[in-house]
Structures are given as C-alpha cells and as structure tokens.
Amino acid sequence: MTLSILGERVTFVDGVFDHKLRQQVSTIHYDTMRALIQRVCSAHVEVQGSTVGTIGTGLVALIGITHTDTVEECRWIAEKILSLRVFPDADGKMNRSISDVGGGILLVSQFTLYGELAKGTRPSFIRAAGGDAARPLFDAFVGIMQDRITNEKTPVTVATGVFGAMMQVHLVNDGPVTIMLER
C-alpha cells in the first residue's frame, strides 16, 4: 500500500513504513496549548502544607503552555472547558457541561504536560514555555474563564494553584473521566 504523507510517498510493507520518513515525522513538533481535564467529586491543591485552592464537584484542569501559545489559545481552551459535556443528564449520558450543572473548576499550571521521552528515560521539557512567558498566559487564561463565568452568571467557581510552586494536587476522579484538550 502506498500513501502520501507530508508530500512524501510512503510504502507500507507488513505495517511498517520507510525508516527515513519515520525520522522526519518524529522531528515534527505540533506545539499546542494543552489541558488535561478530569471530572472530580472533589479536589484541592496544597503548597507547603497549606491548601491554596479547593473545589467540590467539578473539573480539575491541568494547563500546559508552550512557546507559540497566545491569548487566542487561552480563550479557545477556556471556552471548551466551560462547554465540555462530561456530566450526566437525566438518562445518565454525558450531555451536560459544568456551566449547566454548576460546581468548581480547579486550574493548575503544569509544564510537565510537555514531557517528551523520545530519547532516554529522563523527560525533556523543552517544548514547555518558560515561567516568564507562561505566567502571563496562565493568568490571562484564569481571567478569561472568570470573566465568562461572571458575564454569563454561570454557577461555577474557579480556584487555582500557585504558578511555579511545588504543589500537591489531591482529587477524587469521578467516573473516571479524563479528557486531553489541545489547541
């Protein structure tokens, strides 16, 4: 079977494609903002033994920011999180959003979402934005989410961890339901 990938003709033999193209594909990086969302019964985050953010029923969103992210990506991810239909309706189907059911959203910055293990066993975080670039975007992300909740009078509260701090995130995953968003 022959396919065209990235403008290259690739021949598959027994499910394996040309090694030369595999090297090309593995060096292409699709840097996108990431959010790992978990539906929870409850969650809280601690820094140096003190609770800094807590929610009951709702969502925990671990937010990863890369070098190419802008406020547009923040806006898109925030809208998706608020609209994500992962809560059950009357029939038990995941058909309702946090905006529909109310609850809390715990936002935690997490550069390790960009951990890459292409070589060796120690993760590389080179694709994660540094603190000076990521902090204003994370703050903008939190602000965008809070503004939308306030403007639409949505029954949702927002809590956060502490940017750049060593945190312990405690949560009771409900379902479990875990969704990865990328933009």
What residues act catalytically? 110-112
Helix (H) or strand (E) holding 12: none
Distance, in Å, from the CA atom of 111 to the CA atom of 77, rounded to the nearest integer, reads 16
